[in-house]
Amino acid sequence: MNRNNIDDKKKSVSHLTKTGITTLKSRIAELDKKLEIVSSKKIEPYKFSGVVYLVIDCSTSMAEDDKMNQAKKGASGFADEVIRKGYSVGLIKFASHAEQLLEPQNKLIEFNEIIERITANGSTNMTDAIRMATNELKGSIGTKLMCIVTDGMPDDKTSALEAINEAKTKGVGIMAIGTDDADKEFLERIATQKELSFKVSREKFEKSIISMAKMLPEK
């Protein structure tokens, strides 16, 4: 086959591809118009109400008295409720270091698979976790919220509060929940409002974490 024939075939394939794409786009547009006529409403792409990050303490003390297991079950129920209400949910854990385990999404199965694998070991570097969540949320549209789950004080209380204040100035809402061995005053200081902080018995940790999600408005 000579060079001219090859070039002609390439042009033919390119033309057919462009024609096919144009035809497909045209058919999709026609279908949208028909759906709008039937429903009497303009068809718009789905948009999340906002982004919620669950920030979980995985320090060594969380391994005591079933706290980690309670937190994991509560996290699963929390994500289920958040997704049902039309938000995307991300997951960050912190111990000696902070780590993003899941970027914001709406797949509960994937969330549950990841949350099931986390373990408790290390100190309580809450500062890095707050900064990480703030950085991830700053470009989000709609509600921007982090929910901090912990059983005690951070390694550095001063830097944690500085990170919290920075998050608040960037429009990030903060909820905080701690077990009965957490510091109530500290939880109140890190929450956006005192009413968004909770200190509960470790036996009620799971249900209380889920209850935080129920406070979010429906889309």
Amino acid 29: pLDDT: 59
Domain boundaries, the chain: 1-44, 50-214
In this predicted model, what pLDDT tens digit does every residue of 17-40 receive, in sequence order?
A: 444 445 545 654 565 555 454 445
Amino acid 31: pLDDT: 53
CA 206, 175, 73: angle at the middle one, nearest 5? 20
Amino acid 157: pLDDT: 96
**Residue 72 has which token pair?**
């994991």
Amino acid 77: pLDDT: 97
How many residues comprise the chain? 219
Amino acid 26: pLDDT: 60
Q: What are phi and psi of 64, to 5 degrees?
A: -85, 145
With a cut of 50, list the residues of the chain below it in pLDDT.
6-21, 24, 28, 35, 37-39, 43-46
CA dihedral 108, 111, 117, 118 (to 10 degrees): -130
CA distances from 99 to 165, 187, 198 (A): 21, 21, 24
Taking phi over 0 as left and psi of -120 to 50 as alpha, with beta for the rest, 65 belongs to left
In this predicted model, what pLDDT tens digit does every residue of 100-121 receive, in sequence order?
A: 999 999 999 999 999 999 999 9
| CATH class for the domain made up of 50-214 | alpha beta
The residues with which 56 forms a beta bridge, in sequence order, are: 93, 149
Amino acid 9: pLDDT: 43
Taking phi over 0 as left and psi of -120 to 50 as alpha, with beta for the rest, 111 belongs to alpha
CA distances from 101 to 123, 127, 139, 143, 219 (A): 18, 17, 19, 21, 25
Amino acid 102: pLDDT: 97
Return the percentage of the chain with pLDDT > 90, whole number. Answer: 73
